[in-house]
Amino acid sequence: MNLVDLFDQSLLRRADTAALEWQTSQGSMQRRTFGDVEHRSNQVAHALVSRGVSAGDRLCVYLRNSVEFIELFIACSKLGILLVPINILYRERELGHIIEDAQPMALIIDEDGLPFPLEVPAWQLSELFAEATDLPGSRNFESRSANDPAALIYTSGTTGRAKGAVLSHANFVANALALCTAWHITNEDRYLAALPLFHVHGLGNGVVSWLASGCLMRLLERFEAATIVQEFDDFVPTLFFGVPTMYVRLLELDRATTERIGASMRLFVSGSAPLPASTHEAFLAAYGHVVLERYGMSETLMNCSNPYVGERRAGSVGPPLPGVSIRIVNDAGTDVEPGTIGEVVVRGANVFAGYWRQPEATESAFVQGWFRTGDLGELSSDGYVTLRGRRSELIISGGFNIYPREIEELLLELTGVHEAAVVGVADPRRGEVPVAYLVADTSVADSALADHCRQHLASFKLPRAFVRVDALPRTALGKVQKALLPPWSPADVTS
Q: Which amino acid is at 41?
A: S
Digit-coded pLDDT (tens) for 191-210 = 999 999 999 999 999 999 99
The helix (H) or strand (E) run that includes residue 103 is none
CA–CA gap between residue 37 and residue 228 (Å, rounded): 26
Predicted pLDDT of residue 334:
95
pLDDT of 310 higher than 80:
yes
Predicted pLDDT of residue 158:
38
Predicted pLDDT of residue 393:
77
Averaged confidence pLDDT in the chain:
93
Give the Cα-Cα-Cα angle 64, 254, 240 (nearest 5 degrees). Answer: 40
The CA-to-CA distance between both ends of the chain, in Å, stands at 58
Q: How confident is the model at residue 493 (pLDDT cuts 50, 70, 90)?
A: low
Do residues 118 and 95 lie in contact, with contact meaning Cβ atoms separated by under 8 Å? yes
pLDDT of 100 higher than 60:
yes
Predicted pLDDT of residue 53:
97
Q: What is the mean pLDDT of residues 431-443?
A: 95
Q: What is the mean pLDDT of residues 349-365?
A: 96
Digit-coded pLDDT (tens) for 18-50 = 999 999 988 899 999 999 999 999 999 999 999
373 class by beta-carbon count within 10 Å (0-12 exposed, 13-18 middle, 19+ buried) = buried
Instruction: Pick the more confident residue, 374 or 220.
Output: 220
pLDDT of 2 higher than 90:
yes
Nearest to 380 by CA among 337, 345, 334: 337
Q: Which amino acid is at 276?
A: P
In the chain, % helix, strand, coil (3-state, to 5) comes to 30, 30, 40
pLDDT of 479 higher than 70:
no
Q: What is the mean pLDDT of residues 104-120?
A: 90
- Beta carbons within 10 angstroms of residue 455's beta carbon: 12
In the sheet with 29-33, reading across from the earlier edge strand, the strands are 29-33, 18-23, 216-219, 190-193, 239-242, 267-270, 292-297, 301-305
Q: Which amino acid is at 436?
A: A
Q: Which range among 150-154, 255-259, 394-398 shows the weakest confidence by mean pLDDT?
A: 394-398
Predicted pLDDT of residue 277:
82
Q: What is the mean pLDDT of residues 287-293?
A: 98
pLDDT of 489 higher than 90:
no
pLDDT of 492 higher than 70:
no
350 class by beta-carbon count within 10 Å (0-12 exposed, 13-18 middle, 19+ buried) = buried
Q: Which range among 25-34, 57-66, 374-383, 405-414 shows the weakest confidence by mean pLDDT?
A: 405-414
pLDDT of 160 higher than 80:
no
pTM, to two decimals? 0.87
- 3-class state of residue 463 by DSSP: coil
Q: Strands 395-397, 400-402: parallel, antiparallel or unpaired by DSSP?
A: antiparallel
Q: What is the mean pLDDT of residues 447-453?
A: 95
